[in-house]
Structures are given as C-alpha cells and as structure tokens.
Amino acid sequence: MDFTQTKADYDQYVMHSYGRFDVALASGKGATATGVDGKTYIDFGSGIGVNALGYADEGWVKAVSEQAAKLAHISNLYYSPVQAQCAKLLCESSGFSRVFFCNSGAESNEGLIKLARKYSFDKYGKGRHTVVCLKNSFHGRTVMTLSATGQDVFHNYFFPFNEGFRFVEANDTAALEAAVTDDVCAILMEAVQGEGGVYPLEKAFVEKAAQLAKQKDVLLCFDEVQCGIGRTGHLFGFEYFGVKPDVVSCAKALAGGLPMAAVLSGEKCKDTFTPGTHATTFGGTPICCAAAIEVLTRVSKPEFLQSVREKADYIRSELEKLPGVHSIRGLGLMIGFEVTGVDSKQAAVLAGEQGLLILTAKTALRMLPPLVITKEEIDKGLAILAGVLNHLRASTAQ
C-alpha cells in the first residue's frame, strides 16, 4: 500500500487525535527506517524514545519470536517464569525491591500515584493524598495523569479533572518546601522534563526534594517514562542527582518496542499493593517480558551506558558547530536545542521530507535516537539536519 492510500485510510478510519507527518513507515534496521515508497529515513526519534535497540534488532527479534512461539500471554492469575526473570533483572539492575507491571507510561504513573496514596492512607489515614508535581511536567493522557501534569494546555475539555495535585516551579526549592504540607503523600518529578522542552532538573532542587521526602515520610517519586532505561547514559535519570527515589515509573524503552511499563518500589512501599488493590490484564505479559529482558540485559551494561554518553557528547559537539543552534540541553541521548530564526515544527516537517525523523518539544527540536545508533547514522542525520536548518535560515533572512 503506498503513502496516498495509507493516508486516505487513516483519514477515513482512524480518529483524528494525532497530528502526523507525511511519512508512512514499512520497515527498518538499526536507526534507519524505510518508508512504504522505499525512501529511507535516519531516525532521531525512535518512536518517541521507545526503540532503544533500533528497528529489527537481531537479539530482540529472536527473544520476542521465541517467546511468541511458546506463549505470548497468560493472565496474572498464574505465575510466569519469564515475568519472574524480568522482575528480578529489573530490580537487581536498578536497586529497587519490587515491581508492578503495566502497559504504558500513563498507566505506570496512575500506578505510582495510587501506590503513594495507599502508602499514606495505610499509615496515616484519609486526607494525606496530595501529590506535589512540577509546573511544565508531563505525566500522561488519562484524566488522573493529565491532572498531575503541570501545563494548563492539557487541562481542557475533559472536566472535571482530579483534585489532589499541587504544582511548584521546577528548581524553586523554597516553593517546594512551602508546598510539602501535612496533606502531602508524594513528590513527583521527571529528571528531565521531556515534553516540557527537554529541561533537566537542578541537583540542589532534587536533593531538597529527597530531604523533604525523608523528613516528612512522603514518597519521592520519579517519572522515568521518557528518560529511563539508558536514555540519559545511566539506567535511570535520577542517578545523575545521587538520590534514591521511593517509587519510579518507567515505560517507553522498557520492552524496546512492545507496550510495557513498570512501577518500581523501594523497601518502604514494597508491600503497599495487596491483592485486588491494583491490576491490569496485560501487565507483565510473557512476550513483553521476553523483550524487556533483552533490552535490560544489554542496556544496563556499563559499557553500553558509556557508549550512550559518548554518542551524546559527539552529537552535542557537532550540534554546536551548526549555525544558529543554541541552548543545547538534556542528558545523554535526550537532547533538545533551539535554532535562531527557525520554527522547530517547520524544521521537523522539512527534515521528514529530506529523510530525517526528528521530534519537537515546545519550541525546541528534540532528539531521542535509538541508543544503538551508529556514528555513520548520526553523521548522515546531522548532515540532513544542517541542510534543513541552513535552508530555513536562508529563507527567513530573505
């Protein structure tokens, strides 16, 4: 099916809830995707931070197909050795005690919020349910996670939103201190605000949050949906700040392309969920666990994480050479930047036409390439990007 037919079918049959690029993809290898019309694209987006091992990775394909041939899904009424192995690997590689498996980033944050509220309810009773969140955050699209999201643009149409969220400016330690009152059960933050424009938090702020959490017995929670699983050059983004959260949500890259997410808990709240208090049909289904085992086994290796940091340094140093590029930010292979005189959305559209898939976040251009991207693919992508930016800057200068 060619692009025109594919697009026509979407227009007719798929709800119009997404703004899409004029790109229809059929296959891929590594960080290179191929469109339905045979055109190739360097992928600096990896399905919004999902395809950590790139497209059609041999080990991942083997793990998933072998599991598919054995048993794709069983319910959580039964035990699965693959889920047990995945849970053990996830806990051992991250230093957390227990995991609850689910299916998407939003769901992992729903789980995290439920866990924080129940932890507090079990210990202190009703009324201690407020979650302190950050302005400019993003936590998902369910009503609960939209309510936890600190951007007014998301608080529309779907009224009523949930109560029990309080927002403070990122990096404002005084505001945070004032916000953590007796009705608070958790502080929730992203190590790098991804959708908010790729802004890492400041160390002093995170340290303050950790200190307050400990003092007041509120749970320190990190949403690692976008910045977790090796993206920042550490297994988790919070590692940059030298703190240990009580609860972490992760998703996106966890199973390298299959829908899987997890809530990880430390010792303090590992027994909070009891039978019947939280559940989801597909959570930790064997086929996703087999995929996640492959991802985690490889991504958690120190030399793999080191390679992520090296690639990130290389990309940053090359970006700095491009005219007009400024405010390069982020951690590891989660990179945002601005370009003087260039509209990021327009740049991303033109890049797509020229064979480069790149993301935006607010006014920034955003890169979340597969963690296995090669130097050759990076160079190819950056060359396309340079052409696009030069063209747009030249046309605005006229």
What residues line the site for ligand PLP (CB under 6 A)?
A: 104-106, 109, 138-140, 190, 194-195, 223, 225-226, 251
**Smallest separation, CB 109 to ligand PLP (Å):** 6
**Smallest separation, CB 154 to ligand PLP (Å):** 11
Q: What are phi and psi of 188, to 5 degrees?
A: -120, 130
Please identify, using beta-carbon distances, which residue of 257 and 355 lies nearer to ligand PLP: 257
For residue 224, give Cα distances in angstroms to 4, 21, 101, 221, 228. Answer: 37, 27, 14, 9, 5
Q: How many CB atoms lie within 10 A of CB 255?
A: 30
E-strand ranges in the chain read: 25-29, 32-35, 40-43, 98-102, 130-134, 165-168, 184-189, 192-193, 199-200, 219-223, 247-250, 261-265, 325-331, 334-339, 356-357, 359-361, 364-367
- For the chain, the 3-state helix, strand and coil shares in percent, each to the nearest 5, are 45, 20, 40
Q: How many CB atoms lie within 10 A of CB 41?
A: 24
Please identify, using beta-carbon distances, which residue of 106 and 213 lies nearer to ligand PLP: 106
**Smallest separation, CB 249 to ligand PLP (Å):** 7
Please identify, using beta-carbon distances, which residue of 175 and 251 lies nearer to ligand PLP: 251
CA distance 66 to 28: 20
Q: Report the DSSP pairing between strands 98-102 and 165-168.
A: unpaired
The structure tokens listed for 368 are 């979340």
Please identify, using beta-carbon distances, which residue of 76 and 151 lies nearer to ligand PLP: 151
Please identify, using beta-carbon distances, which residue of 131 and 251 lies nearer to ligand PLP: 251
Q: What are phi and psi of 265, to 5 degrees?
A: -125, 145
- Contact (CB, 8 A) for 149 and 110: no
Query: Which residue has the closest beta carbon to ligand PLP?
Result: 105
CA distance 316 to 118: 43
Please identify, using beta-carbon distances, which residue of 109 and 300 lies nearer to ligand PLP: 109
Q: What are phi and psi of 203, to 5 degrees?
A: -60, -45
**Smallest separation, CB 181 to ligand PLP (Å):** 25
**Smallest separation, CB 380 to ligand PLP (Å):** 26
CA distance 313 to 367: 13
**Smallest separation, CB 192 to ligand PLP (Å):** 9
Closest CA to 248 of 274, 269, 275, 273: 269
**Smallest separation, CB 288 to ligand PLP (Å):** 13
Closest CA to 370 of 20, 105, 33: 33
121: left (phi over 0), alpha (psi -120 to 50) or beta: alpha
Q: Which long-range contacts (CB under 8 A, 24 or more apart) does 22-26 make?
A: 22/349, 22/352, 22/353, 23/352, 23/357
Please identify, using beta-carbon distances, which residue of 94 and 226 lies nearer to ligand PLP: 226
**Smallest separation, CB 144 to ligand PLP (Å):** 12
Please identify, using beta-carbon distances, which residue of 35 and 196 lies nearer to ligand PLP: 196
**Smallest separation, CB 139 to ligand PLP (Å):** 5
Please identify, using beta-carbon distances, which residue of 46 and 104 lies nearer to ligand PLP: 104
Please identify, using beta-carbon distances, which residue of 209 and 389 lies nearer to ligand PLP: 209
**Smallest separation, CB 228 to ligand PLP (Å):** 9
